[in-house]
Structure 1
Amino acid sequence: MIAIVLFWLSLGIVGHAYVGYPVLMAMLARWRGRDPLCGDHVPAISVVLAVHDEETRVAARIRDVLAQDYPADQLEMLVVNDGSRDGTSRAARLDDPRVKVIDLDTNQGKAGALNRAVEVARGEILVFVDARQSFAPGALRALVAPFADPSVGGVSGELVIGSGQGNPGLYWRMEKRLRHDEARLGCLHGVSGAIHALRRELFVPMPAGTVLDDMWTPLQTLLGGHRVWMARDAIAVDQASSSLAEEFHRKLRTLAGNWQLVQRLPVLLNPVANPVFLAWFSHKFLRLVVPWALLVALVASACAPGPFYRFALGAQLLAYAGAALAWARPALARRVPLLPAAGMFLMLNSAALLSLPASLAWDGSRLWRKH
């Protein structure tokens, strides 16, 4: 009896995280969702780029931002060279008065670098970017347009990922749809680190070593009573990871950062004080619990009596075998419908399973990790 209860309870957790909650958000967004009041709003902005050992691509990234169709007298770009050991500082010093390079003598990590940039920023709106991506035309204007609505405190752009073995495919399309629905309901609590913006007065400095600046910032904005929007026409373009192994390590770091965030913002666990508790719990926290629920469901189906649970056990083992094949041989998996999605599901949940021990073993001395 206990095995049967655990089996269905575990399936309920998985079903809510990946099906029930997204469906609920889609329905509520259609019935009660609200878009912000956007306009031809071009406030003074400070584009912030924190870099460490990015000599080969920092100049191209700066030029990409400066090439945006945005009034030159309303844009400044702050490049924080976080204790680089190569020629990053020299490469970033372009002959353009809009660019200011801030050199940090020691490596403080991304959180410390962003904190330093905001201290000297002059723009009304802070725009945070990464070194790896590029912007589609009109991205900056689209990103700041929702700030015409005074209720909007932060805005996320949309990250478009190119082809490659590490492309999250179906998972990423579903994730972006879910974020858009959450934004329409006023409960979006995670933004794209490659392209997001914030009213400068709402910025809350991050503790040293904070991994998920792209969750710290929107959560602080929501806790302060403001809304976070997703501007889907503000596009940053990235290349997919070269392999699923690379994508695995990237996701492991991100998911470990979620455990760190719970430690640094315990208010998240309080359904009364956290204004987006249902969204955060269903979207983020349960994603950390799902792999454990999957393991419990597997063991419970092996222990439960009856032919149904024998069939459920066999179906699970077969599904995991197919997903493992897709993870190991992605080129072969692309020939079979839905098999790549199964491989991505297994990879993401393997990373989630290891995220707790990874967060406990976190090496704070390694402040930057590049993939």
Structure 2
Amino acid sequence: MIAAVLFWVALCIVGHAYVGYPVFMAILARWRGRDPLCGDHAPTISVVLAVHDEEARVAGRIRDVLAQDYPAGRLEMLVVNDGSRDGTSQAARIDDARVRVIDLEANLGKSGALNRGVAAANGEILVFIDARQSFGPGALRALVAPFADPSVGGVSGELVIGDGGGNPGLYWRMEKRLRHDEARLGCLHGVSGAIHALRRELFVPIPPGTVLDDMWTPLQTLLAGHRVWMARDAIAIDQASHDLAEEFHRKLRTLAGNWQLIERMPVLLSPLANPVFLAWFSHKFLRLVVPWALLVALLASAWAPGPFYRLAFVVQLLAYAGAALGWARPALARRVPLLPAAGMFLMLNSAALLSLPASLAWDGNRLWRKH
């Protein structure tokens, strides 16, 4: 009896996180969602790029930003060289008055470098980017347009893989749809680290060693009473990683950062103090709990009496075997419907399962992880 109860409780947790909550948000967004009032205006912006040992990419990234269709006199770019050991500083010093390079002798980590960049910024709007990606046409204009609405405090762009013309996997289509619905309901609480913007007066310095600056910033914006929007036309383009181990460790680091964020922002655990508690709890926290619920469901179905639970146990084992194939052999998995999504599901939940011990063992002295 206890095993059967545990099985259904675990199944309800997984079902709410991946089905119930997204469906509820989709219905609610259609009924009560609201888009911001966008305008064709061009506020002064400060693009902040924190880099460490990026000699090979930094100049190209700077030129990519400056090539955007944005008034030259209303854009500045601050490149914070965080104690690089290569020629990053020299490579960043291109011949353009809009670019300022800030050299830090000590390696502070990304959060510390961003704090230094913001302290030196003059723009009304801060734009945060990474070195690895490039911008799609009109990305900066699309990113700042929602700031015409005074209720908007932060805006996320959208990260796409390749040229944006491909067919993203089922998992990521669902995830992007969920984020868009959250944005329409005013409870989007995570942004893309590759392209997001913030009103300068809303910036709260990021604690040293914070992994998820792209969650710290929007959560602080929401706590200040402003909404965060998702501008899907503001596109940053990245290349897919073909290194499965690298992709797994990237996800593990991100998920471990969620545990770190709870420790640094305990207000997140309060339904009364956290204005987006339901969204954060269902979208972020339960994603950390789901792998444990999946393990409970598997073990409970093995112990519970009756043919239904025997069948459930076998079905789970077969599903995990298929998902493992989809994870380990992505090229082969693409020939089978739903198998890539199953592989992504298993990879993310394996990373989530290890995220708590990884966060406890986190080496705070390793400030940058290079990809």
Aligned: 1:52 with 2:69: no
Per-residue displacement from partner, 1:56-85 (whole Å, max 9, x unpaired)?
000000000000000000000000000000
Aligned: 1:176 with 2:176: yes
Contact preservation (8 Å) 1:209, 1:364: yes
Deviation at 1:340, TM superposition (A): 1.1
Deviation at 1:339, TM superposition (A): 0.8
Aligned to 1:28: 28
Aligned to 1:101: 101
Deviation at 1:306, TM superposition (A): 0.3
Distance 1:174 1:46 in 2: 32
Aligned to 1:362: 362
Distance 2:355 2:170 in 1: 22
Aligned: 1:151 with 2:151: yes
SS in 1 for 2:362: coil
SS in 1 for 2:4: helix
What letter matches 2:229 in structure 1? W
Distance 2:325 2:346 in 1: 10
Aligned: 1:273 with 2:273: yes
Distance 1:105 1:111 in 2: 15
TM, length-normalised to structure 1: 0.98
Deviation at 1:310, TM superposition (A): 0.3
Count the aligned residue pairs. 368
Contact preservation (8 Å) 1:168, 1:344: no
Aligned to 1:191: 191
What letter matches 2:5 in structure 1? V
Deviation at 1:168, TM superposition (A): 7.2
Runs of 4+ in 1 over 4 A off after TM superposition: none
Aligned to 2:302: 302
Question: Quick one: structure 1 residues 213 and 222, their matched pair in 2 at CA, closer, same or farther if it must change by over 3 Å?
Answer: same
Per-residue displacement from partner, 1:117-173 (whole Å, max 9, x unpaired)?
01110000000000000000100000000000000000000111139xxx9722111
Distance 1:171 1:361 in 2: 29
What letter matches 2:116 in structure 1? R
What letter matches 1:63 in structure 2? R
TM, length-normalised to structure 2: 0.98
Distance 2:169 2:312 in 1: 27
Cα-Cα RMSD? 1.0
Matches within 5 A, 1:10-21: 10-21=10-21
Aligned to 1:91: 91
Distance 1:331 1:136 in 2: 27
Distance 1:37 1:329 in 2: 45
Q: Which runs of 5+ in 1 are unaligned?
A: none
Per-residue displacement from partner, 1:78-118 (whole Å, max 9, x unpaired)?
00000000000000000000000000001000000000001
Q: Which runs of 5+ in 2 are unaligned?
A: none
Distance 1:255 1:272 in 2: 25
